[in-house]
Amino acid sequence: MKFVCSACGATAPVTTRAARCACGGLWKLDFKPPLFDPELIDRREWSLFRYRAFLPLDGAESADSASTQSIEKWRAVTLGEGMTPIVALDEDTLLKMDYFMPTLSFKDRGAAVLVAHAAAIGVESVVQDSSGNAGNSVAAYCARAGIACEIFVPEGTSPAKIAMIKSHGATVTIVPGSRDRCAEVCRAKVADGGAYYASHVFNPFFYEGTKTYIYEVWEELGRVPAHIFVPLGNGTLFIGIVKGLEELLAAGLIARMPKIIAVQSERCDPIARAWEDGAAEPAHITPMPTLAEGIAIGVPARGAEILEYVYKYGVNVVTAPEGRILEARAALAAKGIYCEHTSAATYAAYLDQRDRHGRIYDSLIPMCGAGLKSDH
Ligand SMILES: Cc1ncc(COP(=O)(O)O)c(C=O)c1O
Ligand SMILES: [Zn+2]
């Protein structure tokens, strides 16, 4: 197991504290789990670590000391994340209730694995930037692991998210300006001071955690639905879903890739525009304010990687109509599902596609964040 630079191909041990390659390229993780085999699921473990045979924790391929130590680190770090139910909303639509998580969003999947790794390599303090949810997750898992934590959030972030981050003992730095500006300020601190960057975007261990979303879908349903909707900002759930599906495909547990429909905000749509133009890099856009704060990413750092997957697997990239987010949220709430605006945006996009093209059978939509977090 090692890091490989996505730009120049240089390698580094996973014990590195460098947030990215010296050339500026982002790390990819060279980790090949065994073929996905249901027999290897630890059914006594009631968290996503039941899939640890397929996670970069136990040194399956490597005997380096970091991976050996992390065998036990995950036990000290887990908060019982994952194992979220799938609920039928109507005859066409399934909801995966990922806000039933320790910090109320899907980000716990990635943060649990990332922080287990950071603890295993002896990291004592981390920094991270976030629209709020990833910061909540990293702060909680760092608190659990005894790692000091500073989270940068953009101005306008939901007060409930900020209060939660602080409650875990993390320092919160509020950055004036956009979500992209917030990332720049945090990355400047990483570049200057060498702080460990527990980034859900830069650090590939995060994606190894989010791929458990698909493992669970397969384990719960015994299959993967025909249409997989996924919100797309920085792509941490998107990339995890693609990786998970690739593993199921390689293991022969699914016959083909399902149709993936990635959802951006119509007010912040760099990937959707690139896809419409057939471009390899995200479009340059000026983000406009949106209720879907979780996907308001104007400059997705892994944009080119996301677009590679989009073309490879015939993904559709659609946008959520801003004017339907509140309506979608109210429709879900009227059925007992109180999600945050960013999750309602995915449902708004689904409703919009259905109005345009007719029924979308066998659709799976993630309910990524809890409603109380975005009430402001
Ligand atoms: C509730 C919610 N949904 C979706 C997303 C989008 O995730 P990503 O930026 O990894 O694509 C986020 C990210 O913060 C989020 O908080
Ligand atoms: Zn490089």
Mean pLDDT calculated for residue range 190-211: 92
42 CA distance to ligand 1 middle (Å): 28
191 CA distance to ligand 1 middle (Å): 25
d(CA 19, CA 202): 7
20 CA distance to ligand 2 middle (Å): 8
pTM as predicted: 0.94
Upper half-sphere CA count for residue 71 (Cβ side, 13 Å): 9
d(CA 307, CA 73): 34
Q: What is the reported pLDDT for 66?
A: 52
pLDDT digits (tens, 9 = 90+) for 233-279: 999 999 999 999 999 999 999 999 999 999 999 999 999 999 999 99
Residue 261: helix, strand or coil by DSSP? strand
Mutate to test the pocket of ligand 1, among 98, 104, 107 (most ligand atoms within 8 A of CB): 107
Which atom from ligand 1 is nearest to the alpha carbon of 99?
1
Q: What is the DSSP letter of 295?
A: G
Concatenated DSSP letters of 179-203:
HHHHHHHHHHHHHHH--EE--TTT-
Q: How many helices (H) and strands (E) does the chain have?
A: 12, 13
pLDDT digits (tens, 9 = 90+) for 326-365: 999 999 999 999 999 999 999 999 999 999 999 999 999 9
Tell me whether strands 148-154 and 171-175 are parallel, antiparallel or unpaired. Answer: parallel
Which atom from ligand 1 is nearest to the alpha carbon of 130?
14
Fold that domain 86-102+206-374 belongs to in CATH: Rossmann fold (3.40.50)
Ramachandran angles phi, psi of 148, nearest 5°: -70, 150
Name the closest ligand to CA 213.
1
12 CA distance to ligand 2 middle (Å): 10
Which atom from ligand 1 is nearest to the alpha carbon of 105?
1
In the chain, where the domains are located: 1-30, 86-102+206-374
pLDDT digits (tens, 9 = 90+) for 123-178: 999 999 998 899 999 999 999 999 999 999 999 888 988 999 999 999 999 999 98
Q: What is the reported pLDDT for 70?
A: 52
Residue whose CA lies nearest to ligand 1 atom number 7: 233
Both tokens assigned to 156: 């306008």
Give how far Cα 295 sits from Cα of 57, 86, 196, Å.
29, 23, 24
Residue list, CB under 5 A from ion ligand 2: 5, 7-8, 10, 21, 23, 25
Which atom from ligand 1 is nearest to the alpha carbon of 339?
1
231 CA distance to ligand 1 middle (Å): 7
pLDDT reading at 65 higher than 70 = no
Concatenated DSSP letters of 28-72:
EEE--PPPP-GGGS-TT--SGGGGGGGSTTS-SS---HHHHHHHH
9 CA distance to ligand 2 middle (Å): 6
Mean pLDDT calculated for residue range 52-60: 77
Q: What is the DSSP letter of 324?
A: G
d(CA 4, CA 32): 13
Q: What is the reported pLDDT for 241?
A: 98
294 CA distance to ligand 1 middle (Å): 4
Q: What is the DSSP letter of 146?
A: T
Sheet holding 2-5, edge to edge: 11-13, 2-5, 27-30
Residue whose CA lies nearest to ligand 1 atom number 5: 294
Place of tokens 């003992």: 169
Both tokens assigned to 135: 């910061």
d(CA 300, CA 288): 15
23 CA distance to ligand 2 middle (Å): 4
Concatenated DSSP letters of 85-98:
-EEE-SSSEEEE-T
Mutate to test the pocket of ligand 1, among 133, 241, 338 (most ligand atoms within 8 A of CB): 133
Which atom from ligand 1 is nearest to the alpha carbon of 235?
11
Strand partners, 175: 154
pLDDT digits (tens, 9 = 90+) for 105-134: 999 999 999 999 999 999 999 999 998 899
**198, amino acid identity:** A
pLDDT reading at 69 higher than 90 = no
* Binding pocket residue ranges, ligand 1, CB within 6 Å: 105, 131, 133-134, 231-238, 294-295, 297, 340, 342-343, 368-369
Residue whose CA lies nearest to ligand 1 atom number 2: 294
Q: For residue 195, what pLDDT band results from cuts at 50, 70 and 90? A: confident
* In contact, 153 and 135? CB cutoff 8 Å: yes
Q: What is the reported pLDDT for 374?
A: 80
